[in-house]
Amino acid sequence: MKAAVLYEKEDLRIESDFEEPAMGEADVLISPKHTGLCSTDRSLYRGYVPFKPPLILGHEIAGVVSEVGASVTDLAVGDHVIIPPVYPGCENESCGPCSEGLTNRCKRSVFIGHGVHGGNAELIAAPAKYVFRVDKSVPLDEVCIVPDAVSTPFHALKSRSVPPHILMKHIGVFKNTGMFKNKGDSGGHPEGHHWLNDKNVVVFGAGGVGGPAINLAAKYFQAKNVVAVDIFDKKLEYAKQLGATHLINTNTYFEENGIAIKELDGRERGKALSGLAKHISSHLAEDKFQVDVVVDCSGVSVTFPVAVETVSKNRTVIQVGWPPRPAPDFLNQKIMDKYLTINGTWACPMSEMEEIVTAVESKTVDLNLLVTNKDYKLDQFVEAIHDLEAGKITGRATIEII
């Protein structure tokens, strides 16, 4: 079969006769039609992340079921499907994390396109119970980004944004009042009320993951204000289309205030970052500068101290983007003083995937805006990576397999 195979750092080959995957009786064989291009693909290609070659890349997959295993009853040949990039590998979800509902943190997690072969190929096999059907009205060249670029910020906003003290207050009344009211109780929200409804969210990084975070916060979780922070005006204008209410270019802020941020360190750098944080929250003056959640999708370690400075007391910072280096200033005293919740997030548990699919099918998520580049073919995979690095891709790019 045809596949994009990584053999070593920067040695990616489009093979024409790579070995086809084996399929078990509980699996389905899928013909991928489109995959999303992720920064993780770029990191693997550049050798920033270790892997065992040969490896077929691609973990954002949408395709058509071509064969079902003997014990599979919930899927049929011809179904349009997506596959979560990270799914459980333990038996019967029996490990500690899975038993706690964290199927995205299984001790034997299967990571498609990293630990096992990915979807930039004519065929891929996967356990049927972790394959999700999507309505055929949703374009495959758009829905392919849902498994990661959409589901990761969805999980972050839905489940990682709520401070523990608020969670504890409402723990006995989720189904009837508080954060999760019955369907239709919150004036149009598809799944009822959520804690973020009418709250203020700041998103650092308005690209391939930050874009969906902005769109979800504004449209699905119905935040009152969504502040987009980036260094490129082009991405900020894109963020506005996705629902951002306020746009902040950090480079412009530093230039207008005569701050050479790269030349500063120590106390002076801290003062400059604190000034940027105040500038960000100043856009929320009518709400007494309240910032309820900061979602860091930038993948740049320097944004963490700004996030800590920006978020209001008793609230949450969520790390979504993967920073290549540790944060330069870990403000542990500030975290204590502000009584902050600092949450990491990783992929999405299986329990939330159906809700995401429903949101996509009902067009509550603007996939047509989130996918900005659809012209790449499998033979152009390396070119697409180069374009991603060069900033030519504003949102998410997709790769046509066949």
pLDDT of residue 228: 98
Cα–Cα nearest to 159, from 106, 208, 101, 207:
101
Instruction: Give the total residue count for the chain.
Output: 402
Beta bridge partners of 248: 229
- In the chain the first and final C-alpha atoms are separated, in Å, by 11
Shared fold status for 3-147+348-400 and 196-344: no
What's 3-147+348-400's CATH class?
Answer: alpha beta
The answer to whether 194 and 288 have CB atoms below 8 angstroms apart is no
SS3 355: helix
SS3 273: helix
Parallel, antiparallel, or unpaired for β 341-344 and 316-319? parallel
Radius of gyration (Cα) for the chain, nearest Å? 21
The answer to whether 14 and 4 have CB atoms below 8 angstroms apart is yes
Please give the Cα distance from 383 to 301 (Å, whole number).
27
Which DSSP state fits 225?
A: E
Dihedral of CA 365/86/377/67: which sign? Answer: negative
Which DSSP state fits 312?
A: P
The answer to whether 311 and 319 have CB atoms below 8 angstroms apart is no
Please give the Cα distance from 366 to 359 (Å, whole number).
10
**Which stretches does DSSP call E strand in 207-351?**
225-230, 246-249, 293-296, 316-319, 341-344
- For each successive 10 residues of the chain (402 residues), what is the average pLDDT? 97 97 97 97 94 97 98 97 97 95 96 97 98 98 98 97 87 48 43 84 96 97 98 97 98 97 90 96 97 95 93 97 77 91 96 96 95 97 96 96 88
Cα–Cα nearest to 259, from 251, 267, 319:
251
The domain limits of the chain are 3-147+348-400, 196-344
Domain 196-344 has CATH 3.40.50.720: yes
Q: What's the predicted TM-score (pTM) here?
A: 0.93
Q: What is Dmax (Cα atoms) for the chain?
A: 68
Q: Strands across the sheet with 55-56, in order?
A: 11-15, 3-8, 55-56
- Torsion angle of the four alpha carbons 362, 366, 372, 373, in this order, in degrees rounded to the nearest 10: -10
